Amino acid sequence: MGILAVLALPLLLLGISGIIYLYQSVRWLLSKSAVQNKVVVITDAISGLGKECSRVFHTGGARLVLCGRTWEKLEALYDALISVTDPSMTYAPKLILLDISDINCIRDVAKEILNCYGCVDILINNASMKVKGAVQSISLELDKKIMDANYFGPITLTKAILPNMISRRTGQIVLINSIQGKIGIPFRAAYAASKHAAVGFFDCLRAEMEEFDISVSTVNPTFICSYHRQPAPGNWEASIWKFFFRKVAYGVHPVDVAEEVLRTVSRKKREVLMANPIPRAAVYIRTFFPELFFAIVASEYLQRKYLLWRHGTKLLLLLQVPLLM
């Protein structure tokens, strides 16, 4: 009786963990099967996140159309994908050159995309351009280029693909956005403005597409970490980082974001915010206590300016990471 009582709690915890693990595995398999045979278009498939999305959807059995602006990188991604999967269970991806800021060419590229399989089931608007700098240091030309790449590009492509989805009364459109589409922070004016504009457009589109059974999702990660910033696998630190500090110190891993994109598609989620507690709180503070938010951001800005003046740009960049996470 005594031993049983001592073992009861660990056994109960073990049982619950097992059930949670099984539940998550089944949901993951269901998410994957939801994209099987679907025609999935990913813009900028060669970016950090684009590559992971390509891998996740490819292994899920989707018919991929991978877009990017560098042909050699697209070919390298193609080779990487087909070399690790069973060709009898997956489709060889189609490759299409697309510079998302070249608005005049996007309609023709959309035709090329539609010609691949005759339809598009899922469009993932992932391509985007980033820029950092004080408002006065960014030229108006660059502001416009960012707006083209992050707003006019994705909406032009979406508008060109929409008639096909509407006529079939099915489809899913995903916008990979950013927390900076919800809050503005110093030195990111052009990027934040373009991401705010995009989220406004896709929020309106979501309501309009409801009657055609077309779902519109926005995925808003905070800071997506790069591979090279993580401890090497096998390093004793790795597991500790993975479990406790990885997301706090390095942001979200592209694999985690790609898996979230797959879940978003399979569950038709409307909006996802992938953020740690501080940036998540910032979004709510911006909504309910805007004056407080503006005061915090302004004081952060002054503090950074002072530190920049004393210690140089490296420190400034280091300090920007926690705010973006």
Catalytic residue ranges: 191
Contacts of 158 by beta carbon, 8 Å cutoff, 6+ apart? 123, 125, 173, 205
Print the binding letters for residues 205-234 with ligand NAP: x by CB under 6 A, - otherwise.
----------------x-xx----------
What is the closest distance, in whole angstroms, from the C-beta atom of residue 164 to ligand NAP in the complex?
A: 22
Contacts of 114 by beta carbon, 8 Å cutoff, 6+ apart? 120, 161, 164
**56 is a site residue for ligand NAP (CB under 6 A):** no
39, 40, 42, 49: which one binds ligand NAP (CB under 6 A): 49
Q: How far is CA 263 from the centre of its chain?
A: 12
54, 126, 156, 172: which one binds ligand NAP (CB under 6 A): 126
40, 65, 109, 129: which one binds ligand NAP (CB under 6 A): 129
Record the tokens describing residue 117, joined without a space.
């399989």
39, 42, 46, 262: which one binds ligand NAP (CB under 6 A): 46
Number of residues that bind ligand NAP (CB under 6 A): 22
Which lies closer to ligand NAP via its Cβ, residue 104 or residue 136? 104
What is the closest distance, in whole angstroms, from the C-beta atom of residue 274 to ligand NAP in the complex?
A: 8
What is the closest distance, in whole angstroms, from the C-beta atom of residue 152 to ligand NAP in the complex?
A: 11
Which lies closer to ligand NAP via its Cβ, residue 46 or residue 190? 46
Strand order in the sheet with 214-221: 94-97, 63-68, 39-42, 122-125, 171-176, 214-221, 271-274
Angstrom distances, CA of residue 139 to CA of 143, 162, 290: 6, 33, 29
Query: Please, are residues 133 and 160 in contact by the beta-carbon 8 Å criterion?
Result: no
28, 36, 59, 69: which one binds ligand NAP (CB under 6 A): 69
Short-list 323, 254, 226, CA closest to 283: 323
**99 is a site residue for ligand NAP (CB under 6 A):** yes
Going by the DSSP 8-state scheme, the letter that residue 232 receives in this structure is: P
**48 is a site residue for ligand NAP (CB under 6 A):** yes
- Rounded Cα–Cα distance for residues 195 and 177 (Å): 6
The footprint of ligand NAP (CB under 6 A) covers 44, 46-49, 68-70, 73, 99-101, 126-129, 149, 176, 178, 221, 223-224
